[in-house]
């Protein structure tokens, strides 16, 4: 049975209209209380995590773990949406932090256990090495005690004399010192042309058969004075220093470089001739014959003039088709 008031809604609708505003604050209050408790729990866990990180990484900032779950962007509030999603996010963050604390605790325990094992191994090694150290003085003491008793007095100077009187290192030192002195005795020119001075000094070293020193000096000339009037001479002589030093493979590279760099250079024909000689020493007949053929085709006047004797001897040393 429904009672009606004059000019008003039914009683049931009136009661529902009164109850609805009362229920909403109660729900909101319970949600805010849960959220506050969760926030307090979150702050406590974060404090514990920071304390644990300071224990694991005492050196300071930059070495702490970044939480695996970070707060996302705040979603746009929609009318009628319950506040339970915010509480769920906080709980998820707390679960992640608790898992991280568990992992850090396990790492600390593993580190302490590893440290204990290392200390145990060191203790065992020190204990094992202790007898050896103790035995060593005893073993050395026996010969020391026996030496004065067994060895006569004349034997002592006789044993010491051979060791001091025969220095084995004196013999190798003499040739090295003599070579250094001989190289230093070669005078370096001091004309106004610095490039020519470098080349002539290398030429004098090569002429004196100091081939390694000549190689170094001529390389200095080639690197510093690539446009000098004697550059063709320098590159060719650098190759000859290597060839005369018994290294035909390296020498061939310098001869070929000199020929290709400037075919009109004053020593380009010589480089082709010595390139063929280097190939003969390397037992590469095909390339040797190719070098001689190139020389005859490019510099025919040299093969019958200035370099005729050397060219004929080089061709006779190999059988070309």
The count of domains in the chain is 2
Q: Residue 91 is part of which domain span? A: 23-68+86-118
By the 8 A CB rule, do 263 and 298 touch?
yes
One domain for residues 114 and 201: no
The four Cα atoms 143, 149, 151, 153 give a dihedral, to 10 degrees, of 130
One domain for residues 111 and 209: no
Classify residue 72 by its DSSP letter: -
Is residue 175 in some structural domain? no
Is residue 169 in some structural domain? no
> Tokens 């906080």 — which residue?
90
Token output for 264: 């009109």
> Tokens 């610095």 — which residue?
194
Residue 183 burial (10 A CB sphere; 0-12, 13-18, 19+): middle
Is residue 167 in some structural domain? no
One domain for residues 302 and 193: yes
pLDDT at 139: 43
Gyration radius from the chain CA atoms: 48
- Pairwise CA distance, residues 52 & 71, whole Å: 21
- For residue 284, give the CATH number of its domain: 1.25.40.10
One domain for residues 194 and 311: yes
Instruction: Output phi, psi for 10, to 5 deg.
Output: -60, 160
pLDDT at 241: 97
Q: Where are the alpha helices (DSSP H) in 208-304?
A: 211-224, 231-244, 248-261, 268-281, 285-298, 300-303
Distance from CA of residue 230 to its chain's centroid? Answer: 41
- Pairwise CA distance, residues 200 & 205, whole Å: 9
By the 8 A CB rule, do 218 and 199 touch?
yes
The residue from 78, 97, 118 where one domain ends is 118
- Pairwise CA distance, residues 29 & 146, whole Å: 100
Token output for 220: 């200095």
pLDDT at 136: 41
Q: Where are the alpha helices (DSSP H) in 151-210?
A: 155-165, 170-185, 194-207
Is residue 271 in some structural domain? yes
Is residue 16 in some structural domain? no
- Pairwise CA distance, residues 297 & 311, whole Å: 13
Candidates 213, 271, 267, 274; CA nearest to 248 is: 274
265: number of Cβ within 10 Å = 17
- Pairwise CA distance, residues 217 & 206, whole Å: 10
Is residue 251 in some structural domain? yes
Along the 321 residues of the chain, how does pLDDT read in single tens digits?
444 444 444 433 433 443 444 344 444 455 566 667 777 777 887 787 777 767 666 655 554 555 544 554 554 544 554 545 666 676 777 777 777 787 777 778 777 777 788 778 777 776 766 554 443 444 444 444 444 444 445 444 444 444 444 545 445 446 788 999 999 999 999 999 999 999 999 999 999 999 999 999 999 999 999 999 999 999 999 999 999 999 999 999 999 999 999 999 999 999 999 999 999 999 999 999 999 999 999 999 999 999 999 999 999 999 988
């Amino acid at each position: 049975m429904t009672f009606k008031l004059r000019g008003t809604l039914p009683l049931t609708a009136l009661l529902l209209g009164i109850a609805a505003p009362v229920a909403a604050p109660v729900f909101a209050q319970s949600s805010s209380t849960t959220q506050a408790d969760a926030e307090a729990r979150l702050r406590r866990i974060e404090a514990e995590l920071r304390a644990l990180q300071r224990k694991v990484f005492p050196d300071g900032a930059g070495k702490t773990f970044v939480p695996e779950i970070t707060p996302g962007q705040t979603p746009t509030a929609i009318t009628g949406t319950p506040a339970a999603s915010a509480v769920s996010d906080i709980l998820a963050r707390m679960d992640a932090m608790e898992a991280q604390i568990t992992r850090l605790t396990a790492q600390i325990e593993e580190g302490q256990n590893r440290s204990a094992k290392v200390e145990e191994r060191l203790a065992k090694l020190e204990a094992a090495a202790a007898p050896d150290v103790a035995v060593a003085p005893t073993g050395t003491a026996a010969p020391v005690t026996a030496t004065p008793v067994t060895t006569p007095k004349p034997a002592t100077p006789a044993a010491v004399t051979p060791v001091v009187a025969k220095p084995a290192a004196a013999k190798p030192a003499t040739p090295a010192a003599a070579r250094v002195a001989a190289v230093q005795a070669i005078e370096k020119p001091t004309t106004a042309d610095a490039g020519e001075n470098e080349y002539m000094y290398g030429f004098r070293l090569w002429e004196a058969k100091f081939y390694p020193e000549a190689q170094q000096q001529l390389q200095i000339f080639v690197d510093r004075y690539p446009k000098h009037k004697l550059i063709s001479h320098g590159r060719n002589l650098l190759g000859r220093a290597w060839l005369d030093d018994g290294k035909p493979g390296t020498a061939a590279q310098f001869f070929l470089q000199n020929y290709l760099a400037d075919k009109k250079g004053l020593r380009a024909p010589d480089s082709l001739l010595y390139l063929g000689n280097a190939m003969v020493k390397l037992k590469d007949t095909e390339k040797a014959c190719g070098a001689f053929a190139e020389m005859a085709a490019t510099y025919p006047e040299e093969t019958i003039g200035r370099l005729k004797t050397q060219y004929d001897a080089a061709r006779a040393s190999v059988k070309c088709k």
